[in-house]
Amino acid sequence: MSTFTPVSGSSSTGLRVGLAVGGILAALAGILILVWPVHTALVLTVIVAIYAITVGLVYAGTGIWSRGKTGWARAGYIVLGLVFVIAGVVALLNIRATTLVLATVLGILVAVMWIADGIVAFTTLRDAPNTAWAVVYAVLSLVAGFVLLFSPARGITLIYLLIGIALIVLGVAQVVRAIVRQAPSQRGTTQLSAE
């Protein structure tokens, strides 16, 4: 026989606060993306550059101070660390150009994924429960992929704005969920027994 005991009130309150804070942060990020899309993209680029520098320093440090590794492994860590640090510094010195490059690369990656998804959808038409919808999906995926491939920076800008809208909607929904959710003590205890 097993019994289910609900989460304590303080754990539930912590969860609700966490949900609310996460929702507020998501909504704020979405608002920033919509209000200041370029500035927000620049900030994201700075975060990526700082991350690259940090990872580079960790790799370089691993290569320098790790005595358990062979000479080639240590040299590899040091070289990889230097590459990350140099990339991060170059990104910080050319933030606008780096932001455009990151957007373009991301746009190309998404385009290739959509094209591949469209091809896969066409090759699996026999297995589709509804062939008409599978064809529509495949065609849309291919068209969207090729449009994005030939204009990745503009396409990723649209995707970026859609992400901003989604963050606002999901953030507000999460805050509402945190406020509306009742603590277990208010609902009473539920016991399930199984034999």
**Domain segments of the chain as ranges:** 9-183
pTM over cut 0.85: no
Q: Is 140 helix (H, G, I), strand (E, B) or coil?
A: helix
Retrieve residue 191's tokens: 């016991």
pLDDT one digit per residue (tens) for the chain, 195 residues: 445 444 455 667 777 888 889 889 999 999 998 999 889 999 999 999 999 999 999 999 999 988 888 888 889 999 999 999 999 999 999 999 999 998 888 889 989 999 999 999 889 888 888 888 889 999 999 999 999 888 887 888 888 888 899 999 999 999 998 888 654 555 555 444 444
Rounded CA separation 6/184 (Å) = 6
Contacts of 150 (CB under 8 A, 6+ apart): none
The tokens for 44 are 């994201």
Record the tokens describing residue 59, joined without a space. Answer: 């790799």
